[in-house]
């Protein structure tokens, strides 16, 4: 929901919508792969000024088309109808006395320090979503710029706020993986919650793909390798992310002179607002995620496992390589006018149609996919298997030949939850 690493929720909700806004705008979906943007070969011959102007106009048009298609795919969200926590359930979530949370507060007394609130000078807005608005701020104690995610209690459910904080603090206490957004501070007043997060300067991969188009294979392999290291770390810690998407991969935005030679763009996995502990018995009775990224078993059976995060990562890989999403809806359907269950059925229908074996094989021989390495196609297919028991795990992704071949340094990341 934000532009900051840890709170991509607001940004996610703005650009890709978060699981709870189902009535978002949805531009016309393209009906087949033939309608999707195609890469055009650049002529080696000198062009006239008129030809250059025409080419620039075409490039701008394609960038806008990509933006509209990606935005449309992710602006419609599944409504996450998570249960409303009772005071007793809420108290257990944050280890607080029940009476401490009966006065409209979500968190224990220790998070209500006035000196903490005064420490941060709020600046310009970075993004906003269904539950939160993210601001750039100055930490007057350290002089560093940070991001502050502000959640209004009138719209932000108690359980979601408490759950996100509990997971972020658990990860911080156990030695968080450096590809996962950290939390720096927390405070609460009578009307709002404030999460202080690391400030990311580079936007997110949704912006990058929608404005610049697909990225080279080596870069895509590096992104997926780093993403799966982060997901594997979460899964090893018993946590499912449940909302992996381009908008939640926040770019560090290093200046060129700050980068090591050959260094890839650094990013972090953000927005743990819908993350859940795998052993929570009541966590998975309702759908959560972003349409266009949600795994078919979640849409069909509300079945969650680490495999659902791998599916979402597979969608990310597909878009990085192709520049457009893989499973378009049939044309002529006003998705915004549909109810939640109808939207879920429509999404599942699109996935099952597109993933039919012969149709999928044919699809990967057309358009931009004709020039993509067979190893990349194989990995996408294994990450997007309909049966979660046959889908690649994060560890299998990390050991995939295409990933290994395209990774300059395979062992530079560490799973440091131990």
- Whether 149 has a binding-site annotation, put simply, is yes
Which is nearest to 161 in space by CA: 20, 278, 299?
Answer: 20
Q: What share of the chain is helix, strand, coil (3-state, %, to 5)?
A: 45, 10, 45
Give the Å distances, CA to CA, from 8 to 23, 199, 271, 389: 20, 11, 5, 30
What does the block give as tokens for 167? 């997971």
Relative to beta strand 145-152, strand 183-188 is unpaired
Residue 102 and residue 177 in contact, taking contact as beta carbons nearer than 8 Å? no
Which is nearest to 339 in space by CA: 287, 283, 285, 284?
Answer: 287
Q: CA-based diameter of the chain, in Å?
A: 76
CA distance 350 to 319: 16
Q: Which helix (H) or strand (E) holds 329?
A: none
Which is nearest to 17 in space by CA: 34, 37, 1, 4?
Answer: 1
Catalytic residue flag (residue 185): no
Q: Quick one: CA torsion of 67, 271, 90, 170, rounded to 10 degrees?
A: 170
Query: Distance from CA of residue 44 to its chain's centroid?
Result: 38
Cβ neighbourhood burial of 327 (10 Å; 0-12, 13-18, 19+): buried
Question: Which candidate in 185, 204, 243, 309 is catalytic?
Answer: 243
CA distance 11 to 147: 12
Binding site per annotation, positions for ATP? 149
Binding site per annotation, positions? 149
Catalytic residues: 243
């Amino acid at each position: 929901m934000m532009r900051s690493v840890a709170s991509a929720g607001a940004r996610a909700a703005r650009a890709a919508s978060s699981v709870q806004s189902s009535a978002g705008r949805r531009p016309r979906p393209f009906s087949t792969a033939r309608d999707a943007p195609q890469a055009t070969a650049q002529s080696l011959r000198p062009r006239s000024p008129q030809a250059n102007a025409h080419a620039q106009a075409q490039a701008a048009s394609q960038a806008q088309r990509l933006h509209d298609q990606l935005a449309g795919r992710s602006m419609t969200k599944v409504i996450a109808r998570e249960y409303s926590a009772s005071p007793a359930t809420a108290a257990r979530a944050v280890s607080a006395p029940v009476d401490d949370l009966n006065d409209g507060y979500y968190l224990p007394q220790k998070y209500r320090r006035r000196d903490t609130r005064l420490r941060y000078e709020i600046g310009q807005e970075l993004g906003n979503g269904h539950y939160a608005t993210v601001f750039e701020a100055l930490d007057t104690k350290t002089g560093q710029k940070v991001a502050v995610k502000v959640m209004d209690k009138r719209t932000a459910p108690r359980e979601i706020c408490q759950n996100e904080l509990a997971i972020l603090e658990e990860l911080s206490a156990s030695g968080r993986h450096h590809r996962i957004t950290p939390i720096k501070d927390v405070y609460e007043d009578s009307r709002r919650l404030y999460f202080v997060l690391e400030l990311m300067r580079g936007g997110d991969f949704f912006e990058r793909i929608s404005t610049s188009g697909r990225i080279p294979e080596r870069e895509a392999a590096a992104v997926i390798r780093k993403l799966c290291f982060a997901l594997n770390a979460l899964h090893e810690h018993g946590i499912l992310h449940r909302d992996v998407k381009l908008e939640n991969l926040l770019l560090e935005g290093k200046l060129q002179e700050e980068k090591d030679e050959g260094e890839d763009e650094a990013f972090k996995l953000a927005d743990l607002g819908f993350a859940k502990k795998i052993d929570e018995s009541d966590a998975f009775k309702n759908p959560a995620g972003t349409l266009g990224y949600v795994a078919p078993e979640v849409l069909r059976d509300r079945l969650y496992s680490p495999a659902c995060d791998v599916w979402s990562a597979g969608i990310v890989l597909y878009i990085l390589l192709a520049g457009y999403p893989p499973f378009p809806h049939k044309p002529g359907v006003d998705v915004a006018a549909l109810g939640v269950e109808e939207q879920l059925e429509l999404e599942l229908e699109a996935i099952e149609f597109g993933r039919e074996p012969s149709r999928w094989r044919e699809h990967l021989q057309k358009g931009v996919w004709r020039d993509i390495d067979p190893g990349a196609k194989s990995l996408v297919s294994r990450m997007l298997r309909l049966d979660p028991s046959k889908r690649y795990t994060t560890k299998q992704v990390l050991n995939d030949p295409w990933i290994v071949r395209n990774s300059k340094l395979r062992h530079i990341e560490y799973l440091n939850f131990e």
